[in-house]
Amino acid sequence: MPAEPSSETPTTYTVAVRTLCDFAARQGDLDTRFTPGPTAAQGQEGHRLVAGRRPAHFQTEVSLSGRWRHLLVRGRADGVDTQARRVEEVKTHRGPVERVPEHHRALHWAQARTYGWLLCAQEGWDQIDVALVYFDLDQQTETVLSEPHSAAELQAAFEALCERFLHWADQESEHRARRDAALRELTFPFGDFRAGQRELAEAVYRTHTHRRCLLAQAPTGIGKTVGTLFPALRAMPPTDTTVGTDQLYALSAKTPGRQLMLDGLARLQDHTPRLPLRTLELVARDKACEHPDKACHGDACPLARGFYDRLPAARIAAVNAARMDRAQVRQIALAHQICPYYLTQALVRWSDVVVGDYNHFFDPYAMLHALVASDERSAALLVDEAHNLVERARGMYSAALDFASFRGMRLLAPKALKRPLGRLNKAWKQLLDTFDAPYQVLDALPDDWTGALQGAVAAVAEHLAEHPTEAPGSPLVRWYFDALFFQQLAESFGAHSLLDLSDENSGTLNLRNVVPAPFLRERWLVAQGATLFSATLSPPDFVRELLGLPENTAWRDVPSPFAATQLQLEVARDISTRYTDRAQSLDRLVDRIAQHYKQRPGNYLAFFSSFDYQRQASERLAERHPGVPQFSQARGMSEAERQAFVDRFTPHSQGVGFAVLGGAFGEGIDLPGARLIGAFIATLGLPQVNPVNEQMRARLQTLLGDGWRYTYLYPGIQKVAQAAGRVIRTPEDQGLIVLMDDRFEQDDVKALLPGWWPVAHMR
């Protein structure tokens, strides 16, 4: 429709059909009761199967667009039959179609009718059949709901949706214009850049304006958080050669990293009080849920009842608040009596900066990636402490099914599932009987076991669909989702992963990802620029190849602001922390710790390869040097306990904190000045030599070469450098690092230590 005449033509706002309907057509309760859903790949396959049943002239993925005033609505209709004057909206599902929640059906119909009007407007039709096609992936059957509509009816419905959205579109256009204007004028929040910080900022800005990827190794202490946020924000507005970026996703591996991002954004906003920047913190569902004892639907939870009716007012309040961290969103949600977690989900699309965990973009079901991949938003990435992403990504694309857990679940399962679960039980026993070794690598899953798993998963899905009130934490539900994920990963099994059978836990089948690159490669391509930064990214080929970064990914090794004279670096050449040597070297190890503590009392951290080794050293130090105060990291510490451990390091305290390398205190904690004056690293950090790691070494040797370094050396030295990096935090700090193993003298190990360390003068 043409825009209405006005003295000033409003800016055209473009919105996707799905976004328009999601915003303006949902109503009633939130309802997340179990409805077994397909994966994206399965959904695409379902669409292809439906299209294959249609006449030859049937068109799929038909691009359509239309205007109402200054709103441009566009999308792709699933299917169009011009001869029959019919449009189809296809939705794949599993289980009885009656289980599709009402608020989902309302959304689906709104989408179908919107495409109906856009098609009528394009073709000049006065009427059309609008069909909603539900395709059952398990039964391969269609449920077709069809409505005849006049063009006038559909136009009225379309305009009603647009009117409900138009006020929001106007304020979004105004917000975007003000935001981009402010970001173009954004200035650095500190008087001067620190040494190395300007170089980092310039590299990030160039990378994001040219839509490329950057690996930036930058030492702790130069201000990496603000040094990357500032240029990434400056790169968001459009230029003469770019269309601009909608959002920035700031991702970290752990809670402290996310807090640093939020603090950095707050610093920038405080420095520019009129900066209209909406920042949103994503948190896990279990941390945001107000009623963990209640099911998530309107009949059980008061915050789900009428959720979509009260969402509009809460959404406006949240975006007006701008700083939407966990506490702020919770306060707004409860004031409007809706669920904080799902309010956060609804705000993602309308935020400028989203701060979250790696899994929010890189996980197989990541919401942020889905938003970008669907072309609803463009986004750039900041990946903090990126050395962690290799192991985290491996975990995201790995799965395991344990026979003992399955048997326990089977005993409690309903009688209706006895036969399909019994078939899987039999196939699993036969598989275990085939092998007599405690660890066995498989080339592929046996067909009979795979078939039995498929039958069991389908049967459980059908049962859960018929019993949607099944407790989300029940053994049956937990097993179903574990089995479904295993099944999905098995479909993409290849050289990038290992398939093995371990009898240590009564027959565990493991799909272990070794190289995440095949899964992550597309993620980098859809991002409008990405910066991965950390103090430990050497060698860059190790990170680039495992993460599947583009070939033109830039590398920047930012010089350290620290001087070698700030650091006293020692190697304990008379100590070996090899497993077979630990007992005889333990006395020398604790004597060395005590010697340095007595020479200069203060705060120290001592890192070990395991809790057991840490305990042995702690007990021996207490025995031989009872006057040295000490405290230790414990297994499974809560967030409060971890914070209490860190809080013991004050400018006036003294003592040795014992910790595990690669754990909660090996990175991400900031203890400047007298809060930490030294670190003892009693390990090379190498992963344990065991059958699994040896298989990974062999696989990496085949795929990338140099399997030993990729499996053991590089990850180990990264952990060492991270832990040692807790000592020197500012240009004024002076500290001690003692590398307590003779292997630190080896040339290939020394070559991986930070370049500013006085390695050539190690004592």
pLDDT digits (tens, 9 = 90+) for 171-213: 999 999 999 999 999 999 988 888 889 999 999 999 999 999 9
**Secondary structure, 3-state, 182-225:** HHHCCCCCCCCCCCCHHHHHHHHHHHHHCCCEEEEECCCCCCHH
Same domain, residue pair 637 and 753: yes
β-partners of residue 62 are: 77
Q: Describe the chain by its helix, strand, coil percentages, rounded to 5.
A: 45, 20, 35
Burial of 117 (0-12, 13-18, 19+ CB in 10 A): buried
Q: Does the pLDDT at position 513 exceed 50?
A: yes
Tell me what pLDDT residue 139 has.
Answer: 84
Same domain, residue pair 35 and 62: yes
The count of domains in the chain is 5
Assigned domain for 435 exists: yes
Range 345-356 average pLDDT: 96
Same domain, residue pair 643 and 717: yes
Assigned domain for 369 exists: no
- The CATH number for 712's domain is 3.40.50.300
Same domain, residue pair 553 and 576: no
Which range, of 123-127, 137-141, 503-507, 729-733, averages the lowest pLDDT?
503-507
In terms of phi and psi (left: phi > 0; alpha: psi -120 to 50; beta: otherwise), the region of 284 is beta
Tell me what pLDDT residue 478 has.
Answer: 92
Model confidence over 267-293: pLDDT tens digits?
999 998 789 999 999 999 988 999 988
Same domain, residue pair 26 and 152: yes
Instruction: Select from 113, 146, 169 the last residue of a domain.
Output: 169
Model confidence over 379-437: pLDDT tens digits?
999 999 999 999 999 999 999 999 999 999 999 999 999 999 999 999 999 998 888 78
Same domain, residue pair 536 and 637: no
Q: Note the Cα 151 to chain centre separation in Å.
A: 44
Assigned domain for 362 exists: no
CB-hemisphere CA count at 13 Å for 577? 26
Assigned domain for 733 exists: yes
Tell me what pLDDT residue 294 has.
Answer: 86
Tell me what pLDDT residue 210 has.
Answer: 94
* CA distance linking residue 262 with residue 266, whole number of Å: 6
| Banded model confidence at residue 35, pLDDT cuts 50, 70, 90 | low
Same domain, residue pair 598 and 709: yes
Helix (H) or strand (E) run with residue 41 in it: helix 40-52
Same domain, residue pair 307 and 209: no
Same domain, residue pair 698 and 751: yes
* CA distance linking residue 143 with residue 384, whole number of Å: 47
Assigned domain for 177 exists: no
Assigned domain for 189 exists: no
Same domain, residue pair 545 and 603: no
Angle at 439 between CA 437 and CA 442, to 5 degrees: 100
- The CATH number for 85's domain is 3.90.320.10
Q: Are strands 439-441 and 497-502 parallel, antiparallel or unpaired?
A: antiparallel
Global pTM value: 0.91
Assigned domain for 395 exists: no
Same domain, residue pair 270 and 290: no
Assigned domain for 183 exists: no
Amino acid in the structure at residue 22: D
Same domain, residue pair 425 and 529: no
Q: Are strands 71-81 and 59-68 parallel, antiparallel or unpaired?
A: antiparallel
Q: Does the pLDDT at position 34 exceed 70?
A: no
Which comes out higher in pLDDT, residue 130 or 2? 130
- Residue of 398, 396, 422 whose CA lies nearest to 409: 422
Q: Does the pLDDT at position 587 exceed 90?
A: yes
Amino acid in the structure at residue 434: T
Tell me what pLDDT residue 467 has.
Answer: 78
Q: Domain span at residue 688? A: 564-761
Range 335-364 average pLDDT: 96
Q: Does the pLDDT at position 5 exceed 70?
A: no
Q: Does the pLDDT at position 623 exceed 70?
A: yes
Burial code of 396-408, b = ≥16 C-beta within 10 A, e = fewer?
bbbbbbbbebbee
Burial of 196 (0-12, 13-18, 19+ CB in 10 A): buried
| Banded model confidence at residue 378, pLDDT cuts 50, 70, 90 | very high
